[in-house]
A and B are shown apart, each in its own frame.
Chain A
Amino acid sequence: MTREVMSGNYAQSYAAKLARVQVISAYPITPQTSIVERLAEFVASGELPAQFVKVESEHSAMQVVVSASALGARTYTATSSQGLLLMHELLHWAAGMRSPVVMGVVNRAVAPPWNIGADHTDTMAQRDTGWLQFSPESNQEVLDTVLMAYRLAEDPRVRLPVMVNEDAFFLSHTVEPVDVPSQEVVDRYLPPRDARAILRPGVASRLGSFTGPEHYVEFRHELARATENVPKVLPEVEEEYERLTGRRYGGALPLYRTEDADAVLVTMGTASTTARSVVDTLRAQGQKVGLARLRMFRPFPEEEVRQLAAHVDRIGVVDRSYVFGPVGPAASELRSAIYSTPHRPEVRGFYAGLGGRDVTPGHVRHMFEELLRTTGPAALWEDLAAMGVVSDG
């Protein structure tokens, strides 16, 4: 193990290298670029003996890794925002073909207007593609999660592609100390991909194919079952990682001081770090508040959310994206998950931090105040509501 100071993007690059990826393909887009620049250096120097296909679009990047994966290679790509949207069609193919592709996504706002700041609209728009989605909170977690992502993606009970998301700039371009596990440790954690490739040279076979209603349903059902297996497999993936590195992240919905909480805020990505410090401050002032971090958005941690809902009266969900519905995407999923529970807490949504706007401790405090004080609107534009009302700190 070595400790190095690196950005979230370099954490992706180092993890892909440690995973001994065999085929990389990418197209440059801000703020993803430094991930693939570092990988290009690894490949050029011979440190990483991989094929790096420098394609002419993100659509092609995803097709390259899907096709390479079909022949049995371990693959990696990375993108952001518009690039992810261009990939959308191929994301369905990756999941439908059960390709264990791992992709770094630097969450960036979607145009127009052009904006390169942190915003989750890009990955939220992929929630129905069949990809698993992690949202790490620190650069250390980015590196660790990419390695875990390969274990999860390649597990025969799962065999699904995985996105490891990072908030633009707050992680992608911010440097932090990161413990980098040794190659030997990673090799023990992540053996070479199962050599039983789907397409075997010399053997009549077809991957993709076409089918009428007599088989299509079964293919979709298999995909659903694979997704449902994730909550069973993830703890194994995490425990083994902890055994080798000492680090774990508490599953798909890590909780913080929620045991006796009157109100719990649910956050994703870097807003969680800020929110956790506010929880400590408010707790010190005697307010019973807590935090649940949505570490995985897909599959949505329904069981964990139901357990949380059983003993909390007020849940606020912070969405760093706007979708065209009554509440944000995470709030919508959470409301749906607890609909059938006997104790149904009040759920309120907050749109916060869109297009790279800061989510400050002041915003978090304001959201807790809203949550505890009133029954307000189902969803509140925190970025706007807090203007001139809330100061930093």
Chain B
Amino acid sequence: MARLTIPAQELMYRGHAACPGCGPALAMRLLLKGFGPRTIVSIPACCWTVIATPYPTTALAVPLLDTPIESTGASISGLRAAADALGLDDLTIVGVAGDGGTADIGLQSLSGMLERRTNAIYVMYDNEGYMNTGVQRSGATPKGAWTTTTPVQGRSRGKPESKKAIMEIVLAHRPAYAATLNPAFPEDFVRKAEKARDHAGARFLHVYAPCPPGWKFDSAETVALGRLATDSGVFPLYEVEEGAYRITRKLGELKSVEPYLRAQGRFRHFTPAEVEEFAQDVRSGWERLLRLEAETAPLPPPAKTAASTA
């Protein structure tokens, strides 16, 4: 019989206000399973502001603090400082922010929090755009994707620029732990959340978070799309500890990106040439990741001699 590795305890209530098939809602449920009940969550303006339901209700079984969009890094720094000052030693301090609130407007406070080695977890749930405001492009929107501010019209072919490499920005700060997580792989997801919880120092989790209305796909397909994202190399799963990369899901061959792109209305306008260009970018990203894993691998333990095994 398979061993269940995902905690049964639910710290997110039913009756939340997310859209059907919401990736960020799935992500929060799994994050809290990994972090546990002694967690405090800080959220900026983002989809989760709304998902958590209006006053006087809440969708979380743990305390939740709201902040403006750009200050999550500072907020968890303040919570950590207060917890230390008040002797609340067992708390897990977590910021959960969207990609715009992290990679765009919140980049400064994220950088400050990482640079100070703040003993807290920063989670960026990446739905690849400003979805709460009605699907505008963010720095994390992939190249070519349609959004309301990168229309497919006339000479405009969606977002002209590439997706911002938030993990590389984060890793330049040498965090204690950083990982990519995808709710379509819940065991891997919760294991990484637990691992983040059990590390000290600054930790960062980049969470893939599909948005059915923003990406224009069937809300029943969130998990299927998530599996395609990782297995095609669009969103590889890996973790970085002490500078060492480890890919946590590795298939022999990447699957084609085409089914992933074709499942989403935001890429519907892609010509075969544009699909190929997208696939090239994914392949080179994956190859780079493989090289990083090889280059940063910890040295193997010394070979055992006949004498020591005897």
Q: Which residues of A contact B (CB under 8 A)?
A: 22-23, 25, 50-51, 53-57, 59-61, 63-73, 89-90, 93, 197, 199-212, 215
Contact = CB atoms under 8 A, between A and B. Distances in A.
A298 B242 CA distance: 51
B62 interface: yes
Interface stretch (B72-80, B139-147, B176-184, B208-216): B72-80
A204 B85 contact: no
A67 B74 CA distance: 8
Given A60-B71, A67-B82, 13 more contacts: A25-B78, A53-B78, A59-B71, A67-B42, A67-B75, A67-B76, A67-B77, A93-B67, A201-B40, A203-B63, A204-B61, A206-B63, A210-B66
Interface string B87-127: 01001000000000000000011011001100000000000
Contact of B55 (A53, A55, A57, A211): A211
B70 A59 contact: yes
A209 B54 CA distance: 6
Nearest to A208: B66
B64 interface: yes
B58 interface: yes
Given A68-B81, A210-B49, A204 B68 contact: no
A16 to B, nearest CB: 14
Can you list the 6 inter-chain pairs with the closest CB atoms, starting with the nearest?
Answer: A208-B66, A67-B78, A60-B74, A56-B112, A64-B78, A63-B74
B74 A68 contact: no
Interface of B: 37-38, 40, 42, 49-50, 52, 54-56, 58, 60-68, 70-71, 73-79, 81-86, 88, 91, 108-109, 111-112, 115-116
Contact of B79 (A56, A57, A60, A71): A71
Contacts of A64: 74-75, 77-78, 81
B58 A205 contact: yes
Contacts of B108: 56-57, 60
Given A67-B67, A206-B58, A211-B55, A51 B75 contact: no
Contacts of B81: 23, 25, 51, 53, 64, 68, 73
A207 B66 contact: yes
Contacts of A203: 63
A208 B67 contact: yes
Given A59-B71, A65-B78, A205-B58, A71 B112 contact: no
Contact of A215 (B55, B64, B65): B55
Contacts of A202: 37-38, 62
11 contacts: A50-B85, A57-B108, A61-B74, A64-B78, A67-B75, A68-B78, A69-B82, A93-B68, A199-B63, A209-B66, A215-B54
Contacts of A73: 81-82, 85-86
B41 to A, nearest CB: 9
B65 A204 contact: no
A85 to B, nearest CB: 15
Contacts of B111: 56
B70 A209 contact: no
A348 B269 CA distance: 67
A133 to B, nearest CB: 22
B58 A71 contact: no
A69 B76 CA distance: 12
A127 B42 CA distance: 28
Given A56-B108, A63-B71, A67-B67, A206 B78 contact: no
A242 B255 CA distance: 77
Contacts of B112: 55-57, 60
Contact of A70 (B56, B65, B115): B65
A43 to B, nearest CB: 11
Contacts of B78: 23, 25, 53, 63-71
Contacts of B88: 71, 201
A210 B50 contact: yes
Contact of A201 (B60, B70, B91): B91
A71 B86 contact: yes
Contacts of B73: 60
B115 A56 contact: yes
Contacts of A71: 40, 78-79, 82-83, 86, 88
Contacts of B71: 59-60, 63, 90
A61 B54 CA distance: 28
Contacts of B68: 63, 89-90, 93
A55 B113 CA distance: 8
A389 to B, nearest CB: 49
B66 A206 contact: yes
Contacts of B38: 201-202
Contacts of A200: 63
A203 to B, nearest CB: 6
B65 A199 contact: yes
Nearest to B84: A51
Nearest to B43: A208
A51 B78 CA distance: 9
Contact of B82 (A68, A89, A208, A209): A68
Nearest to B79: A67
A225 B199 CA distance: 45
